[in-house]
Structure 1
Amino acid sequence: MGYALKAVPEPQAILRAWMPFKQLIGVTSVHTEEDYAQAQATINALLVEIGDNESHPLADVLDYLADQVRAYEDENFHIPEAKPSDVLHFLMEQHGLKQDDLADCAPQGRISEILNGNRSISKEIAKRLARRFHVSIDVFL
């Protein structure tokens, strides 16, 4: 099955678009702690702007930076395997949160069921929790 590809821009045209973008963002790949901190700060600003709107024009930038951060974390941070409910409990404890503080993610009863191990975390709730705690959705699935 053939695909109709768009014309590929000349490398110099890509460079003319990339350099101002890179200068504005401050980081486009994450190789150091400084890059990591800058990318995290930019991600946080984008999350405030974008919210839950996955069709927002900046969503692709957010996804790109999140992929860069994830690759850096995978290479530099060892995260032990844990059940999603344990991860949620840990993050709530670290942030000093109670179940009703997560009403923006799920009803209190649902959070209680998840924490007690009586219910798994749905993909939608995992997305909300990942945004809330600024972590990868994978830790909740």
Structure 2
Amino acid sequence: MSLQVRQAAEHWQFVAPILRKPKSEADYDALALALDELLDIMGEDESHPLASLVDIIGDWIEAYDEEHHPMPAVSAVEVLRSLMREHGLSQSDLPGVGAQSVVSEVLSGKRQLNLRQIRWLAERFKVSMEIFV
């Protein structure tokens, strides 16, 4: 038995509770708490020895979320409406999309956003272009 395996076996009882994929909401909550604590320890140091453990736990939490709490699909129009509400904007505040009448047609579903408009919106709101596709 290698030294690494022997040491892992000796300390497994202490590590096992946080090295388990979540199977329930309680498991998920415990892992999320552990992740928060690990991130507090690591700070901004991405080369910290615990970084790989943070990655593993983060991946498990993300997978559980995707399976049990999927994000509903939303249309580009719904995203745009939400961003406009969040930023307190009116149709005339989006000149990169076009005149107010063009924005109105986009919001009513009569017109699709084109690539130029999507690029402008992504830059304007500092988001990925993919949310408008």
* TM-score, L = length of structure 1: 0.46
Higher radius of gyration, 1 or 2: 2
More helix by share: 2
TM-score, structure 2 normalization: 0.49
